[in-house]
Amino acid sequence: MQLNKLFLLHALIFLVATGAANVALGKQNAPAAAPAQGGQAGGGQGGQRAGGPPPPPMRLVSTDIADGKPIAGKFTCAAGADAVSPALQWMQAPRGTESFALIVHDMEPRPRKGVDDILHWMVWNMPPTANQLPENVSSASADLPDGSHQTNGFAGQNGNFGYRPPCPPQDVPVAHHYAFEIFALDQKLDLPAAASRADLLKAMDGHIAGHAALVAPFNR
């Protein structure tokens, strides 16, 4: 009787061991799980997010000036009192834009060795539907017809509130570079008509949704 019990115990151990080995072998030979479509976590063709490609960047263009090309004389002090502001057009503003601001400045001079260069024009609170400034914007008033405001940093001296044409020193061989920068903002700005560029930059900080620029040289 004891021999029979011992035989049955050995048989049971053998069967359990054989079964465990077969299970392990089956796992080893099982085909690998197919990767998720797209081959990466998060899916999407080429690893892109499901939301699709990012929107195109904002652009600033002009029929009057070209990026990297010298500014024509009619838009500079070479034209004297007949100088006018150039036409500017912008496109592909980001969704949620509530206003636009423009800053035009001479990038070379550093008065008093400070961070500011020379401001030539700034316009703020242009409506979100705006996509251009025409040639020869009137400089007679700080207030423009669309509700926006302009200044050139001289608080209307000589009756000029708007575009101040580029006018670098004469007979200097190295051109000055004039940046025309457009900013898309996620809100309108609460600024006085006589706001400085520092005031505008402080108000824009944290609200810039898009930006584009043209830089054009000029010397005389």
Question: What is the tens place of the pLDDT at every residue in 154-167?
Answer: 877 788 999 999 99
The pLDDT value recorded for residue 73 is 96
Q: Distance between alpha carbon 10 and the CA centroid of its chain, in Å?
A: 77
Mean pLDDT, the chain, as a whole number? 83
User: Above 50 in pLDDT, residue 25?
Assistant: no
Tens digits of residue pLDDT in 65-110: 999 999 999 999 999 999 999 999 999 999 999 999 999 999 998 8
The pLDDT value recorded for residue 48 is 43
Look at 32 and 208; give whichever has higher pLDDT. Answer: 208
User: Above 50 in pLDDT, residue 20?
Assistant: no
The pLDDT value recorded for residue 50 is 57
User: Above 80 in pLDDT, residue 28?
Assistant: no
Measure Cα distances from 135 to 1, 102, 118, 138, 143 in Å: 114, 14, 22, 9, 17
Q: In what order do the strands lie in the sheet with 59-61?
A: 59-61, 88-91, 132-133
Give the model's confidence band at 153: pLDDT under 50 very low, under 70 low, under 90 confident, else very high: confident
Look at 152 and 22; give whichever has higher pLDDT. Answer: 152
User: Above 60 in pLDDT, residue 143?
Assistant: yes
Look at 109 and 133; give whichever has higher pLDDT. Answer: 133
Tell how many helices (H) and how many strands (E) occur in the chain.
2, 8
Give the model's confidence band at 117: pLDDT under 50 very low, under 70 low, under 90 confident, else very high: very high
Return the percent helix, strand and coil in the chain, to nearest 5: 25, 25, 50
Report the distance separating Cα 132 and Cα 168, nearest Å. Answer: 27
Check: CB of residue 165 under 8 Å from CB of residue 83.
yes
User: Above 90 in pLDDT, residue 37?
Assistant: no
Across residues 199-208, what is the average pLDDT? 98
